[in-house]
Amino acid sequence: MRRLSRRSLLSVTGAAALSFSLRPFSAFAGFWQQLVGQQEPKPTKPITPNHEFYVTSYRSPPSIRVGEWSLSIAGLVDRPVTLTYEQLIAQPKVTQIVTLECVGNTVAGELMSTAEWEGISLRSLLQEVGVDAMAYDVVFRAADGYSDSIPVNRAMAGDVIIAHTMNGVALPQGHGFPARAIVPGHYGMKSVQWLTEIEVVAHDHKGYYQQKGWTEAAIVKTMSRIDVPGHGATVHGLRQQVEGIAFAGSRGIRLVELSTDGGEHWTAARLAAPLSPYAWTFWSYDWTVPTPGRYTLRVRATDGDGVLQTTLEQDPASDGAAGLHEITFAVVG
Ligand SMILES: Nc1nc2c(c(=O)[nH]1)N[C@H]1C(S)=C(S)[C@@H](COP(=O)(O)O)O[C@H]1N2
Ligand SMILES: [Mo]
């Protein structure tokens, strides 16, 4: 089924957006799934193929010809530079598997994917140009007029990439060609696509989404999702492997638990080692179903700092959705 899209979220503005509660929407989604019938189990792939990677851009992607494109590093730097595409891809490369999630993603929504990104280290680039002591924000500006920023100390942490490659091929046009930022642990809005300029400034820059009231820090919230069995499914046999993912950005996932009794008792799932410190964690649980019937499963995660995922439901506006994912399905003998 289609999830609430970025476009429809953003068309709800101001007070209306903030007072919009997730509860009626999830109830509607559940009702809708009953109407449309069973859901096929949808195991998540550890690395999302490029053509399946989520897209949230609200307009068609700019088409950039590399011959006419360049990336300038300007503002409060000692030695400003402008890189052509050839110069960019000739720089020493770093590769990192990073999960991106849109701030508009709903609980268990699909605006979340993982790829292996290759490009240059933003820290190395900034060290080469020399950052002024007055610097506060590193602003990413794009060919579509979009911008967002991260504080200088965040930019210098070493994990931020100016990527030109996605899963082994040049960035597709729809994912930022020829270059984009990849900022691990933050909502996708910070991973600015179709980059044209990196500007170091002395003030707190307000980007495209911040001007519309969305979060500045955009640190991802801890989430967990049940992928198998699907909500509304009918499954056969009393031995069921339940599967899903959990994500807490750079904090990592320490524990995933399942409840079959509405949250009174919880059992730990088995965790697979994530492909990188910035990628989602896969979990599974071999469940011996006591007797055929209708069941509701709820999932929750604890992040690497030991903080349990909140049970409070929150709409994506303005700093990301919160709430626990629950599915209902039938087991026949
Ligand atoms: N230039 C530009 N960069 C952008 C955006 C945009 O509209 N324009 N959207 C942002 C948002 S909200 C997200 S979630 C990610 C999505 O990246 P993807 O389309 O590759 O999944 O790109 C971010 N970077
Ligand atoms: Mo997004």
pLDDT in tens, 263-281: 999 999 999 999 999 999 9
**Both structure tokens of 293:** 């019937």
Alpha-carbon dihedral angle through residues 219, 225, 227, 230, given to the nearest 10 degrees: -130
Q: What is the pLDDT of residue 59?
A: 77
226 CA to centre of ligand 2 in angstroms: 22
Q: Is 191 in the pocket of ligand 1 (CB under 6 A)?
A: yes
Q: Is 100 in the pocket of ligand 1 (CB under 6 A)?
A: yes
Q: What is the pLDDT of residue 38?
A: 52
Alpha-carbon span 218 to 238, nearest angstrom: 42
Q: Is 7 in the pocket of ligand 1 (CB under 6 A)?
A: no
Take atom 8 of ligand 1 and give the residue whose Cα is closest: 146
Q: Residue 119's beta-bridge partner residues?
A: 94, 163
Instruction: Label each residue of the chain as H, E or C.
Output: CCCCCHHHHHHCCHHHHHHCCHHHHHHHHHHHHHHHCCCCCCCCCCCCCHHHCCCCCCCCCCCCCHHHCCEEEEECECCCEEECHHHHHHCCCEEEEEEEECCCCCCCCCCEEEEEEEEEEHHHHHHHHCECCCCCEEEEEECCCCEEEEEHHHHCCCCCEEEEEECCEECCHHHCCCCEEECCCECHHHCCCCEEEEEEECCCCCCCCHHHCCCCCCECCCEEEEEECCCCCEEECCEEEEEEEEECHHHCEEEEEEECCCCCCCEECEECCCCCCECCEEEEEEEECCCCEEEEEEEEEEECCCCECCCCCECCCCCCCECCCEEEEEEEC
Q: What is the pLDDT of residue 39?
A: 54
Tell me the best of 47, 54, 56, 215 to mutate to test the pocket of ligand 1, counting ligand atoms within 8 Å of each CB and taking the most.
56
Q: Is 260 in the pocket of ligand 1 (CB under 6 A)?
A: no
146 CA to centre of ligand 2 in angstroms: 12
Q: What is the pLDDT of residue 42?
A: 80
189 CA to centre of ligand 2 in angstroms: 5
Tell me the best of 48, 53, 57, 103 to mutate to test the pocket of ligand 1, counting ligand atoms within 8 Å of each CB and taking the most.
57
Nearest ligand to the C-alpha atom of residue 316: 2
Q: What is the pLDDT of residue 27?
A: 44
Residue 26 has pLDDT above 50, yes or no: no
Residue 14 has pLDDT above 90, yes or no: no
Q: Is 188 in the pocket of ligand 1 (CB under 6 A)?
A: yes
Q: Domains of the chain by range and CATH?
A: 14-48+219-332 (2.60.40.650), 50-208 (3.90.420.10)
**Could you tell me what percent of the chain has a pLDDT over 70?**
87
Alpha-carbon span 220 to 192, nearest angstrom: 16
Q: What is the pLDDT of residue 16?
A: 33
**Could you tell me what percent of the chain has a pLDDT over 90?**
85
**Backbone torsions φ then ψ of 11, nearest 5 degrees:** -80, -15
150: left (phi over 0), alpha (psi -120 to 50) or beta: beta
The whole-model pTM stands at 0.89
Would you say 229 and 218 are in contact if contact means Cβ atoms under 8 Å apart?
A: no
Residue 37 or residue 194, greater confidence: 194
Q: What is the pLDDT of residue 64?
A: 97
Q: What's the pLDDT tens digit per position in 33-54?
A: 454 445 566 899 999 999 999 9
| pLDDT, average across residues 219-247 | 97
Range name among 57-66, 125-134, 208-217 with the lowest pLDDT average: 57-66
Would you say 200 and 152 are in contact if contact means Cβ atoms under 8 Å apart?
A: yes
Task: Tell me: cis bond preceding 92? Omega within 30 of 0 counts.
Answer: no
Residue 199 has pLDDT above 60, yes or no: yes
Alpha-carbon span 254 to 306, nearest angstrom: 7
Q: Is 193 in the pocket of ligand 1 (CB under 6 A)?
A: yes
Q: What is the pLDDT of residue 20?
A: 34
Q: What is the pLDDT of residue 56?
A: 84
Q: What is the pLDDT of residue 41?
A: 67
Take atom 24 of ligand 1 and give the residue whose Cα is closest: 192
Angle at 109 between CA 232 and CA 304, to 5 degrees: 110
257 CA to centre of ligand 2 in angstroms: 28
**Both structure tokens of 309:** 């995922």
Range name among 56-65, 180-189, 245-254, 293-302 with the lowest pLDDT average: 56-65
Residue 324 has pLDDT above 50, yes or no: yes
79 CA to centre of ligand 2 in angstroms: 33
Mean pLDDT, the chain, integer: 90
Residue 8 has pLDDT above 60, yes or no: no
Take atom 20 of ligand 1 and give the residue whose Cα is closest: 175
Q: Is 317 in the pocket of ligand 1 (CB under 6 A)?
A: no
Q: Is 146 in the pocket of ligand 1 (CB under 6 A)?
A: yes
Alpha-carbon span 178 to 122, nearest angstrom: 16
